[in-house]
A and B are shown apart, each in its own frame.
Chain A
Amino acid sequence: MDQRQSLWEFMQQQSGKLLQQTIQHIGLTFISLLIAVLIGLPLGIYIARNKKAAGIVLGAAGVLQTIPSIALLGFLIPVLGIGPVPAIAALFLYALLPVIRNTYTGINGVDPGVKEAALAMGMTATQRLFRVDLVLAFPVIMAGIRTATVINVGVGTLAAYIAAGGLGEFIFGGIALNNTNMILAGAIPAALLAILLDFLLSLVQRTGSRKRKMVLGLLPLVMLFFSSFYVMPIGNTRLLAGFTPEFMGRRDGDIGLRSVYGLTIRTVVISDAVMYKAIYDHKLDVISGYSTDGRLQAYDLVTLEDDKKIFPPYYAAPVVRSEVLRNYPELAPVLNKLAGRINDSIMTLLNYRAEYLNQPPDRIARDFLESAGLYHPPRNGKKGLIRLGSKIFPEQYILTDMYAMLIRGFTDLEVDSKTGLGGTKICFEALVHQQIDMYPEYTGTALLAILQPPPALTDRLAGSRDSVYRYVSDRFDREYGLTWLDPIGFNNAYALMMRRSQAEQSGIRTISDLTHYLKNQK
């Protein structure tokens, strides 16, 4: 009945993909490292001689280092688009500071007496640099390159968010799908890779002074060799699809598209945070989106009709710990005030305000509650504390804010919001382990990502809103002590999306149309 696999089985089954991702990851790490060394080493040498420039250069590189990696990718996408270029650029920027700083520190750390002696013997500045400064600073410079390498292996996982491949594809896919094996299949090789590279470089770092000059010459060649590992997947169709890591691994995602529709399309893995912009900018042609996403409207996209019904319904409803509902009987009616109040078009509009007009979620939530006559000022009660969680996208923020306002306005309970808990797995685990008391979940997600029933059962349930809801609420109650309250109304299902203009031009209305279109293109 239960089809749980061991990690080893998963890795064996996915060994081809795993090898490809690992090789991509090594390539990505070394390309950016090589560029960082080629630029950082001369820059470090330069500022070691020009102390006035040192403050500016180290300051600038230091500021780059403090930018959170996700934000840095966000900054780079408008300039460099998606794919390998922004990923390499981001990793390069992170690797830069350790290389520059250690070169600078290493050269400055050389005994000034030795440096002065080198000049007094009649060495030119260049002779001193290569025969004395760099050789004596070598261990410190190598330490910087080691740091940069480890940073790059770690940050490199984020490349999967912007269609640049690497081990992040498994990690983020696994987080989204609540698939521990998949997470570990990406995380363990990434960790081992970091440890292995760090160890190998530590051997290089201990090179005796005799061989250091040779190593300094060989190192870029070795890096160049590993850089060549990085080859992006090239498909055979003209259209390019960008699917989220989560979508890639789901039966009601890429797998279903292949098996049910026979769809074969060149595919890259990308984060949902950037894919809408990417399709709007013609970097992608087809994406896996959510049917209530506000950017659908903002970027003039159309959803393709799921004519063979592979996407099950994703009705949203609050999932609450049953114990909390028993302790505070007044809570359930208050949370149910939202039931049936938000349909697809309202949710799309609310999301549009958040994602495209950049309005704060609490303002959107309050505007809606006021217009629906559901807003009461906070009663500032102290009866108890309800901890709200949310996944890390605007729709969840808006819903969580609405629930917080309802609880504060209609009960004497206090609210603590823990928003941005990442994906499904993190939210669900937090709820089960009583770190939070409730969060909004979707029936389809609960079915396919959390409960994972056998495919036959899934196929029987899929397509019917009520049977999926009954199945998940029943099993959540029995197995986890969690209660599904009434659905809010909208169905945030998966959908394939295209630019309206392109879809109309090519006469593509359904997913079957897309499949035929691609077959005829070949």
Chain B
Amino acid sequence: MIVVKNISKRFNMHNAVDNISFTVGQGENVVFLGTSGSGKTTLLKMINRLIEPDCGEILIDGRSIVDQRPEHLRRGIGYVFQNNGLFPHYTIEENIAIVPRLLGWNRDRIAPRVISLMEKLRLPPAQYLNAYPNELSGGQQQRVGIARALAADPPVLLMDEPFGALDPITRASVKKDFKELDELRSKTIILVTHDVQEAFELADRIFLMDGGRIIQEGKPEDMFDRPATQYVKDFFEGQRYIFDHFKNSQH
């Protein structure tokens, strides 16, 4: 369970994150939705201490994140970047194995783990194990990025616009395989996006952000049925069709 209490972050007199509090339950998938500059990425990076908040507190499973060394904290949290952030000088195998190696797993444990993840993410190991990231397409690179984040089986997964840099067809395909991963059951996932459709697809609960604050939180349908402000109403205006489409296709 992740508990965030009253955190704020200022950059150059500008409130990137302004006194935000929320709780994410064990195994829950939440999506922070907002336009660029709404503070959602800053919020995400504060959870694994890539950015330190000016004030406030974050607890993971009851333990404050500042009570442990940042590198130890991060090895227990998967992180997926919009632009994959793969190491260009590492093979695909080495890229996926980064966190297990940092955790000191032995080779006999790492090798099968890497192969199993590659298979689940439809990256044929025989072909790609020893390839370098620049030999892969954008969609394949993002699959490696997801595999890397999941390699050490962390209980928490943070995803920063993970499908944002992909073209629509690739995005749909990567997203589909991602959603089907058995790995994700029981994982607490916090994903940030500006894509309303993605939020509807992946979220148990949506937090709509603007100007560093949470404007409204709730289940996807709450956003339509009970918009808290005019901003929320405007944000979802015209998205009703997409929402209905998902509701119908899911039920």
A121–B50 touching, CB < 8 Å: no
Interface residues of B in 55-109 (CB under 8 A from A): 70-76, 79, 81, 83-89, 98-99, 102
**How far is B83's CA from A394's CA once the two chains are assembled, in angstroms?**
67
| Chain B 144-186 interface 0/1 with A at a Cβ cutoff of 8 Å (1 = within) | 0000100000000000000000000000000000000000000
In the assembled complex, A127 has its CB within 8 A of some CB on chain B? yes
Q: With A113-B81, A127-B102 known to touch, is A120 a contact of B86 (CB < 8 Å)? A: no
Q: What distance in Å separates the Cβ of A1 from its nearest Cβ neighbour in chain B?
A: 68
**How far is B74's CA from A127's CA once the two chains are assembled, in angstroms?**
14
Q: With A113-B81, A127-B102 known to touch, is A120 a contact of B74 (CB < 8 Å)? A: yes
A123–B79 touching, CB < 8 Å: no
CB nearest to A136 among chain B residues: B89
B85–A122 touching, CB < 8 Å: no
B87–A117 touching, CB < 8 Å: yes
B85–A117 touching, CB < 8 Å: yes
In the assembled complex, A116 has its CB within 8 A of some CB on chain B? yes
CB nearest to A110 among chain B residues: B88
**How far is B102's CA from A124's CA once the two chains are assembled, in angstroms?**
10
In the assembled complex, A135 has its CB within 8 A of some CB on chain B? yes
A122–B72 touching, CB < 8 Å: yes
- State which of B79, B83, B89 has its C-beta within 8 Å of the C-beta of A121: B79
**How far is B158's CA from A119's CA once the two chains are assembled, in angstroms?**
14
In the assembled complex, B8 has its CB within 8 A of some CB on chain A? no
B85–A116 touching, CB < 8 Å: yes
In the assembled complex, A118 has its CB within 8 A of some CB on chain B? yes
Q: With A121-B79, A122-B102, A127-B102 known to touch, is A113 a contact of B71 (CB < 8 Å)? A: no
Q: What distance in Å separates the Cβ of B77 from its nearest Cβ neighbour in chain A?
A: 8
A132–B87 touching, CB < 8 Å: yes
Best-buried of B81, B89, B148 by chain A (most CB within 10 Å): B89
B81–A121 touching, CB < 8 Å: no
In the assembled complex, B48 has its CB within 8 A of some CB on chain A? yes
**How far is B48's CA from A123's CA once the two chains are assembled, in angstroms?**
13
Best-buried of A113, A121, A132, A136 by chain B (most CB within 10 Å): A121
Interface residues of A in 116-169 (CB under 8 A from B): 116-124, 127, 132, 135-136
Q: What distance in Å separates the Cβ of A395 from its nearest Cβ neighbour in chain B?
A: 62
Size of the chain A interface, CB-CB below 8 angstroms: 18
In the assembled complex, A114 has its CB within 8 A of some CB on chain B? yes
Residues of B within 8 A of A111 (CB): 88
In the assembled complex, A209 has its CB within 8 A of some CB on chain B? yes
Q: What distance in Å separates the Cβ of B79 from its nearest Cβ neighbour in chain A?
A: 4
A123–B83 touching, CB < 8 Å: no
Q: With A119-B74, A121-B102, A122-B71 known to touch, is A114 a contact of B48 (CB < 8 Å)? A: no
Interface size class, chain B: 20 to 34
A114–B71 touching, CB < 8 Å: no
Interface residues of A in 77-113 (CB under 8 A from B): 111, 113
Q: With A119-B50, A121-B98, A121-B148 known to touch, is A135 a contact of B89 (CB < 8 Å)? A: yes
**How far is B89's CA from A37's CA once the two chains are assembled, in angstroms?**
24
CB nearest to B79 among chain A residues: A120
B99–A121 touching, CB < 8 Å: yes
Best-buried of B70, B76, B86, B88 by chain A (most CB within 10 Å): B88
Residues of B within 8 A of A113 (CB): 81, 83-85
B89–A123 touching, CB < 8 Å: no
Residues of B within 8 A of A209 (CB): 88-89
| Chain A 244-262 interface 0/1 with B at a Cβ cutoff of 8 Å (1 = within) | 0000000000000000000
Residues of B within 8 A of A127 (CB): 71, 102
Residues of B within 8 A of A114 (CB): 85-88
Residues of A within 8 A of B50 (CB): 116, 119-120
Residues of B within 8 A of A123 (CB): 71, 98, 102
- State which of B73, B75, B76, B81 has its C-beta within 8 Å of the C-beta of A117: B81
A124–B81 touching, CB < 8 Å: no
Residues of B within 8 A of A124 (CB): 71
| Chain B 42-54 interface 0/1 with A at a Cβ cutoff of 8 Å (1 = within) | 0000001010000
Q: What distance in Å separates the Cβ of B236 from its nearest Cβ neighbour in chain A?
A: 32
Residues of A within 8 A of B84 (CB): 113, 117
CB nearest to A118 among chain B residues: B87
Residues of A within 8 A of B102 (CB): 121-123, 127
B86–A121 touching, CB < 8 Å: no
A120–B89 touching, CB < 8 Å: no
CB nearest to B49 among chain A residues: A119
Q: What distance in Å separates the Cβ of B102 from its nearest Cβ neighbour in chain A?
A: 5
**How far is B72's CA from A123's CA once the two chains are assembled, in angstroms?**
9
**How far is B83's CA from A114's CA once the two chains are assembled, in angstroms?**
9
B81–A136 touching, CB < 8 Å: no
- State which of A118, A120, A135, A212 has its C-beta within 8 Å of the C-beta of B48: A120
B88–A136 touching, CB < 8 Å: yes
Residues of A within 8 A of B71 (CB): 119, 122-124, 127
Q: What distance in Å separates the Cβ of B93 from its nearest Cβ neighbour in chain A?
A: 13
Best-buried of B83, B85, B102 by chain A (most CB within 10 Å): B85
Best-buried of A114, A117, A132, A212 by chain B (most CB within 10 Å): A117
**How far is B132's CA from A209's CA once the two chains are assembled, in angstroms?**
11
Residues of B within 8 A of A136 (CB): 88-89
Q: What distance in Å separates the Cβ of B42 from its nearest Cβ neighbour in chain A?
A: 13
**How far is B177's CA from A275's CA once the two chains are assembled, in angstroms?**
80
A120–B87 touching, CB < 8 Å: no
**Closest CB pairs A-B (n = 7):** A117-B85, A122-B75, A209-B89, A122-B74, A120-B79, A113-B85, A122-B71
Starting from the known contacts A114-B87, A121-B74, A121-B75, 9 additional A-B residue pairs (CB-CB under 8 Å) come to: A111-B88, A114-B85, A116-B50, A117-B81, A117-B85, A120-B81, A132-B89, A209-B88, A212-B89
**8 CB < 8 A contacts A-B:** A113-B84, A113-B85, A117-B86, A118-B87, A119-B71, A121-B102, A123-B102, A124-B71
B-contacting residues of A (Cβ < 8 Å)?
Answer: 111, 113-114, 116-124, 127, 132, 135-136, 209, 212
A-contacting residues of B (Cβ < 8 Å)?
Answer: 48, 50, 70-76, 79, 81, 83-89, 98-99, 102, 148
